[in-house]
């Protein structure tokens, strides 16, 4: 990381918690806090006087300060990937004493991405004028996110990272860790993430963004404190996303052609009573599911953040500014494992295999592994036992 890119660091560990005992008398130290970075310069050239990066850690650094594991979250995720706190961690099955990332031996750290809405500075954060940044927040890249994460490791004085791992947007970050901190990372595991984002996935991101910005409640991004919110836009964006994250087979298993519990169909399955009900009220179970997921996300996730993070995903290309994809992959330094999902519609396994072939042709210690799941792209979140098994097999071969 260039010294000019990140200014002074101020580490604030806000709380220390001891979660439940997972194995015998062993307990895992769990901390949560924020890192304040002054004069942060984005790739765009924009500079903010400071940014905060929210993080959580599990376990403790060893004397050599080389046992860190960095976990990177997906689009709507956060730093709470492990045990402790009021809610389960989104990867709790992999983190803790005796688990894949054994916190008796490893220091696991995760942060909310720069631009996020779960503690890190983003569009909904207050600027120096005490107003939310909204669209005044700089456009950001995956590399900006990783540079902020590297600063968190600097603040903890981590010397070496054992593993960087993440899925989807988290996998994109993992890819960039291998380029932005190659001398510090031993192993990168990128799950369901291209080395360069595909045009199909970019198209779906644009459809989701258009759903949000077309909602009058978006108010040109200035909906904070206005009493307005782009609820309909967020619900539509989430529906589009869920249809690409899951599979046809799963939808048949879960919903089939079943009627919605409170749809407009009568008990015999006849036509809706009115056209208004037909077009505005869920008629089938799958529609109720999409409406529920949309409302749920709209309550917990900021719409502008969704716009910024999906646009950052569009720009993901490890070959950008590095001589193209072939040249960049041939210069990858850490050990590389790419994990694909056989039913993933957005991040096709052929593209992932192709990236590994290019890396291996350039002399990189790289391998491809594959998950088999009906869950599609979301399998890296839903099939934690399978992820754990694959990661364990990697560790045994190293």
Give catalytic residues, as residue numbers: 168, 344, 377
Which residues, other chains included, contact 63 with Cβ-Cβ below 8 Å and sequence gap of 6+? none
Cβ neighbours of residue 227 closer than 8 Å, sequence gap 6 or more: none
Distance, in Å, from the CA atom of 173 to the CA atom of 142, rounded to the nearest integer, reads 6
**CA-CA distance, 226 to 350, in Å (whole number)?**
46
How many Å separate Cα 88 from the centre of its chain?
17
Q: Is 352 in contact with 210 (CB distance < 8 Å)?
A: no
DSSP for 293-306 reads HHHHHHHHS-HHHH
Residue 70 bridge partners (DSSP)? 109, 164
Kind plus residue range of the DSSP H or E element containing 149: helix 142-155
Q: How many residues does the chain have?
A: 398
Distance (Å, rounded) from C-alpha 387 to C-alpha 124? 33
Give the span between the Cα atoms of 14 and 119, in whole angstroms: 12
User: Are the C-beta atoms of residues 198 and 222 closer than 8 Å to each other?
Assistant: no
Strand order across the beta sheet in which 47-58 lies? 9-17, 30-41, 47-58, 107-111, 68-72, 161-167, 185-191, 335-341, 366-371
* Three-class HEC string of 40-71: EECCCCCEEEEEEEEEEEECCCCCCCCCEEEE
CB 339 within 8 A of CB 390: yes
User: CA angle, corner 182, sides to 177 and 185, nearest 5?
Assistant: 75
CA distances from 363 to 221, 357, 358, 366 (A): 46, 10, 9, 9
First-to-last CA distance in the chain?
28
Strands 68-72 and 107-111: parallel
Run of H or E including 232? helix 231-245
């Amino acid at each position: 990381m260039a010294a000019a890119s990140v200014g002074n660091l101020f580490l604030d560990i806000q709380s220390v918690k001891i979660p439940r005992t997972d194995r015998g008398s062993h307990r895992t130290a769990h901390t949560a806090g924020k890192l304040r970075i002054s004069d942060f310069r984005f790739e765009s050239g924009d500079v903010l006087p400071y940014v905060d990066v929210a993080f959580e850690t599990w376990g403790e650094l060893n004397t050599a300060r080389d046992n860190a594991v960095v976990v990177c979250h997906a689009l709507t995720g956060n730093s709470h990937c492990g045990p402790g706190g009021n809610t389960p961690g989104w990867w709790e099955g992999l983190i803790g004493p005796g688990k894949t990332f054994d916190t008796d031996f490893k220091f696991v750290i995760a942060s909310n991405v720069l631009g996020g809405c779960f503690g890190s500075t983003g569009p909904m954060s207050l600027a120096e004028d005490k107003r939310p940044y909204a669209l005044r927040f700089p456009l950001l890249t995956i590399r900006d996110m990783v540079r902020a994460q590297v600063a968190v490791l600097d603040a903890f004085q981590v010397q070496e990272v054992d593993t960087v791992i993440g899925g989807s947007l988290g996998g994109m970050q993992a890819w960039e860790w291998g380029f932005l901190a190659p001398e510090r990372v031993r192993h990168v595991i990128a799950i369901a993430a291209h080395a360069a984002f595909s045009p199909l996935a970019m198209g779906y991101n644009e459809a989701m963004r258009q759903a949000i910005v077309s909602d009058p409640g978006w108010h040109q991004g200035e909906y904070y404190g206005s009493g307005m919110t782009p609820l309909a836009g967020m619900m539509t964006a989430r529906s589009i996303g869920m249809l690409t994250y899951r599979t046809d087979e799963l939808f048949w298993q879960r919903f089939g052609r079943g009627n919605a519990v409170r749809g407009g169909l009568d008990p015999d399955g006849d036509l809706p009573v009115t056209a208004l009900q037909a077009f505005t009220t869920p008629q089938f179970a799958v529609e109720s599911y999409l409406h529920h997921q949309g409302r749920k996300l709209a309550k917990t996730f900021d719409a502008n953040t969704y716009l910024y993070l999906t646009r950052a995903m569009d720009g993901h290309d490890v070959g950008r500014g590095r001589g193209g994809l072939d040249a960049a992959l041939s210069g990858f330094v850490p050990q590389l494992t790419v994990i694909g999902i056989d039913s993933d519609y957005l991040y096709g396994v052929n593209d992932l295999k192709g990236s590994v072939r290019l890396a291996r042709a350039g002399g990189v210690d790289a391998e491809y592994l594959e998950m088999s799941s009906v869950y599609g792209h979301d399998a890296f979140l839903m099939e934690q036992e399978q992820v754990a098994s694959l990661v364990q097999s990697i560790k045994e071969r190293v």
